[in-house]
């Protein structure tokens, strides 16, 4: 991922827990956020899902690589020596030691050396004493390895140009299994370290309370902030402020666990939330009781009054009917059924019709309207149920 020039979107997930310890955060720092990644990678969007631990110790490990002048050494725990890190090309037919035990290469019958069949570019050497036969190196697709010095062709320049970075969209999804307690106390410090380039940020799953104003300060270029919780999913849009070079107003306390109070906040024209909320989803179920770090759950006795409060909040709005684009094959299937029910028309002069459209008959509608549902946001797939159901309806039109 550090030198990736093709992939623009990256997602990590697991059946249960995906990111659980400081070592994994070190590799994420190097692969997604390091100076080398910012200089070479084409990545624009990353989704880190099912996080089980993002505590203070994890962020310290993350920053030890991110801020290091020698990130490869910090990542692998090897000493920095006289020769600086260098870029090189590995010759075809070279041998690679790829398996390590307690920091040392393990070469035996179980872990035989790999022999490469073609040239490998963008190799990064580190912890190089300038004399040893074998040199530590980061190899694309293999990670940390050791290669023979004579098999390397070093580049003339090994300096890494400074660039602001291409990562614009980030999803941070915490483990949503019931009766789990993912650590998230390091989240503010994490965002302070990497938030300067972000334009879109999604926080999903059970996590400790964090002041929305802290997020906005740590991500000074943020346009959209999506907060997905146990009861409320909300998207805040700061685009108007960013485009006009205006500061985002300080947000008042957000009542994400009280539907009636939240509805009152959205109805208050003096509340900043009423101006920046673009999408809202209320999930009136009891799922968040299984998230031990989320206080309480939803009290179903409040349902009638909560519904009334939401309806009052929406009373001034009117439905908007916007037709959605429909794929051609769906249109043809729909019209082929409709055409069989129409009264046969008088024969007209035959005209040439593409074979794919001939099945729909001679008379077709010129406009087709179709209502569909699309995801509002989907931080990651739910392996257990349809908790994150499709919600938002977007309609557009297209000619048949």
Q: Where are the domains of the chain?
A: 86-154, 223-317, 322-400
What residues pair up with 202 in beta bridges, in sequence order?
171, 226
Name the E strands within the chain.
9-12, 45-51, 86-90, 95-97, 100-101, 104-105, 114-115, 120-126, 134-139, 143-148, 152-154, 169-174, 200-204, 224-228, 232-237, 277-282, 367-368, 373-374, 392-393, 398-399
Backbone angles phi, psi at 246, to 5 degrees: -110, 145
- % of the chain beyond a pLDDT of 90: 26
The candidate with the shortest Cα–Cα distance to 257, out of 228, 281, 230, is 230
Residue 355, pLDDT above cutoff 90: no
162 — pLDDT class (breaks 50, 70, 90): low
Residue 287, pLDDT above cutoff 80: no
pLDDT, tens only, 101-141: 555 666 665 556 888 889 998 899 998 888 888 889 999 88
Q: Which CATH architecture has domain 86-154?
A: Roll (2.30)
Residue 188, pLDDT above cutoff 60: yes
When the pLDDT of each residue in the chain is averaged and rounded to a whole number, the result is 78
pLDDT, tens only, 25-76: 999 999 888 888 888 788 899 999 989 899 999 999 999 999 998 999 999 8
375 — pLDDT class (breaks 50, 70, 90): very low
34 versus 295: the higher-pLDDT residue is 34
């Amino acid at each position: 991922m550090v030198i990736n020039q093709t992939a623009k979107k990256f997602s990590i997930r697991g059946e249960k827990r995906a990111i659980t310890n400081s070592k994994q955060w070190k590799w994420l720092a190097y692969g997604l956020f390091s100076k080398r990644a910012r200089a070479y990678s084409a990545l624009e969007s990353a989704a880190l899902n099912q996080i089980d631990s993002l505590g203070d110790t994890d962020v310290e490990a993350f920053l030890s690589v991110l801020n290091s002048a020698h990130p490869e050494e910090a990542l692998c725990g090897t000493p920095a020596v006289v020769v600086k890190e260098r870029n090189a090309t590995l010759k075809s037919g070279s041998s690679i030691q790829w398996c390590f035990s307690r920091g040392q290469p393990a070469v035996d019958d179980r872990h035989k050396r790999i022999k490469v069949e073609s040239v490998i570019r963008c190799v990064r050497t580190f912890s190089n004493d300038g004399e040893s036969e074998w040199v530590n190196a980061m190899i694309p697709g293999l990670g940390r390895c050791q290669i023979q010095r004579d098999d390397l062709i070093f580049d003339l320049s090994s300096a890494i140009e400074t660039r602001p970075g291409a990562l614009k969209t980030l999803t941070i999804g915490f483990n949503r299994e019931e009766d789990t307690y993912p650590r998230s106390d390091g989240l503010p410090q994490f965002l302070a370290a990497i938030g300067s380039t972000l334009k879109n940020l999604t926080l999903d799953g059970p996590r400790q309370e964090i002041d929305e104003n802290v997020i906005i300060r740590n991500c000074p270029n943020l346009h959209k902030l999506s907060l997905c919780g146990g009861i409320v999913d909300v998207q805040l849009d700061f685009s108007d402020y960013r485009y006009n070079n205006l500061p985002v107003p300080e947000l008042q306390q957000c009542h994400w666990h009280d539907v009636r109070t939240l509805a009152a906040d959205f109805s208050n024209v003096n509340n900043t939330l009423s101006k920046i909320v673009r999408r809202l989803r209320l999930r009136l179920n009891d799922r968040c009781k299984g998230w031990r770090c989320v206080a309480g759950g939803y009290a179903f006795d409040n349902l009638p009054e909560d519904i009334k409060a939401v309806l009052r909040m929406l009373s001034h709005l009117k439905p908007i009917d916007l037709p959605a684009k429909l794929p051609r094959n769906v249109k043809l299937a729909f019209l082929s059924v409709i055409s069989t029910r129409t009264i046969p028309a008088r024969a007209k002069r035959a005209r040439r019709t593409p074979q794919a459209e001939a099945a729909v008959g001679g008379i077709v509608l010129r406009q087709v309207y179709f209502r569909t549902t699309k995801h509002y946001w989907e931080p990651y797939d739910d392996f257990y149920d349809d908790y994150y159901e499709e919600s938002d309806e977007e309609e557009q039109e297209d000619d048949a």
